Structures are given as structure tokens and as C-alpha cells.
Amino acid sequence: MSKRYKQLLEKFDNTKAYGVTDAASTVKDLKSAKFDETVELALNLNVDPRHADQMVRGAIVLPHGTGKTVRVAVFAKGVKADEAKAAGADIVGTDDLVAQIKEGIFNFDVVVAAPDCMGLVGQIGRILGPKGLMPNPKTGTVTPDVATAIKNVKGGQVNFRVDKKGNIHAGIGKVSFEASQIAENLVSLLQAINKQKPASAKGRYIKTGALSLNMSPAVKLDVNELTDIK
């Protein structure tokens, strides 16, 4: 354990479970890097994603954004391509974009697709899927309204999805944000995740939760409070 890390641990009680407001303030005090660190939420849910009815997945536009510049690639043609360009898409294409991705060129962070282009996108599903880039109607990235999708993604949309072990990881802002902004973003994301609770999930839905920065220890969250956020 580094000296820096030990010093950060001395700034808070790492055995305590913090409420949302206190956790947001505490994590800001843990800034130690020279760059604007991302505030990361980590949750472990009491679900088994191997069962389709227990897959937790969705998207939410955070009230204060993520603080991150997002590059958007859009599969669209004709009028929809024009709408995408006007809305600020970084890349718009069809076959040419498929070819670029097959060559391993990924100069974008999110992929949006008009429904009539999903046949093309399907050709590269095995490439996009493992990278978490496959467009999906549940996250609003497969839609005829490509302009709104681009606006949401660039405006601070966070996509969340449980992994095989029931974990969700998401960036909810930057350490430069006000503590109140971090707290409000956290509450918005938790509301979205709680709404996705599967009917078949038994017992406590959120088992553990924590906030951290890129270079910091984790601040434990009070799971009773997290579960009560509706």
C-alpha cells in the first residue's frame, strides 16, 4: 500500500457506511491526482443475470452530466444521416463505418443506430458487443429519433448493466463537481436502477455500494438508504 493511499485512508472512516450526501462530500476530499478524477459508483445487486428475467439494464441522463466529452458514431442514411450530423454526431456512416470498425478503428465512445441500419450493425455485433458498444433500444441508442439520442448521450447519459456477478459500475461525474451535484447525479442513477428491480429478485436488492475516484479508496454507501431511493 502506497504512502499516498494510506494518507487518503486516514481522511475518512472506511468501516462506516455513508449516506448519499456525506459520501459525496467525503469522496471529494479524496482527490489526489493531477487530473479531474471521475467519481465512480460500484454496486452489487442481488440478482442472477444468467436468468433473462433478472437482467438489470437501462439508461439515465444525469441532471448535471458526467463531465466527460463523449464521441458519438451514428449508423444512419438519408434524412436520418442529415439529422445526426445537425445534432452534432462525430461520425455518421453505413457501410464505410462498418468497414472502419472491422479494421479496429474506434474513434468514438457510443454507437447510435437508426432502426433501418440495424441489419448493418448486426454484421459487427461480435465486435461491438464485447466492448459494450452495441446499440440497444433499452438504452435509447436504437431509435428513429437519432437527434434526441445524440443529445442525451452528449448531455450526460449513463448506460448501466449488471455483469455476470451482479455488479454495476458507472461514472457519475467529476471530482471538480460540487458535492450537491455528485449527490443529485447519484440519486438519479439509483432511482433508475431501483425502477429496474426484477419482480423475481428476492431479498435485499442492493447488497453493497461504494463511491470512489480513479486513484482513491472506496467510500462505503448505506445500502438501506440506497434501496429506499425511489
What is the overall mean pLDDT for the chain?
Answer: 95
Task: Note the pLDDT of residue 202.
Answer: 85
The domain that holds 131 is classified in CATH as 3.40.50.790
219 and 204 in a common domain: yes
184 and 82 in a common domain: no
Mean pLDDT within 26-40: 96
49 and 86 in a common domain: no
223 and 165 in a common domain: yes
Looking at 153, 169, 190, the residue that finishes a domain is 153
| Confidence grade of residue 21 (pLDDT, cut at 50, 70, 90) | very high
**Long-range CB contact pairs, 95-103, < 8 A, 24+:** 95/120, 97/73, 98/123, 98/124, 101/127, 101/128, 102/127
Domain that holds residue 174: 13-66+157-228
For residue 5, tell me if it sits in a domain. no
Q: Give the C-alpha separation, 130 to 37, whole Å.
A: 25
Looking at 153, 186, 214, the residue that finishes a domain is 153
Q: Give the C-alpha separation, 149 to 35, whole Å.
A: 29
With a pLDDT cut of 90, the percent of the chain lying above it is: 92
168 and 140 in a common domain: no
45 and 81 in a common domain: no
Mean pLDDT within 146-170: 95
Mean pLDDT within 112-116: 98
164 and 148 in a common domain: no
The domain that holds 189 is classified in CATH as 3.30.190.20
Mean pLDDT within 206-230: 96
Residues 6+ apart with CB under 8 A from 14: 217, 218, 219, 220
Which amino acid is located at 199 in the chain?
A: A
For residue 126, tell me if it sits in a domain. yes
Q: Are 12 and 219 in contact (CB under 8 A)?
A: yes
Q: Are 74 and 89 in contact (CB under 8 A)?
A: yes
For residue 179, tell me if it sits in a domain. yes
Q: Nearest-CA neighbor of 26 among 133, 175, 162?
A: 175
For residue 138, tell me if it sits in a domain. yes
Task: Note the pLDDT of residue 133.
Answer: 95
Q: How many domains does the chain have?
A: 2
Task: Note the pLDDT of residue 175.
Answer: 98
Within 13 Å and on the Cβ side, how many CA atoms surround 114?
Answer: 21
168 and 126 in a common domain: no
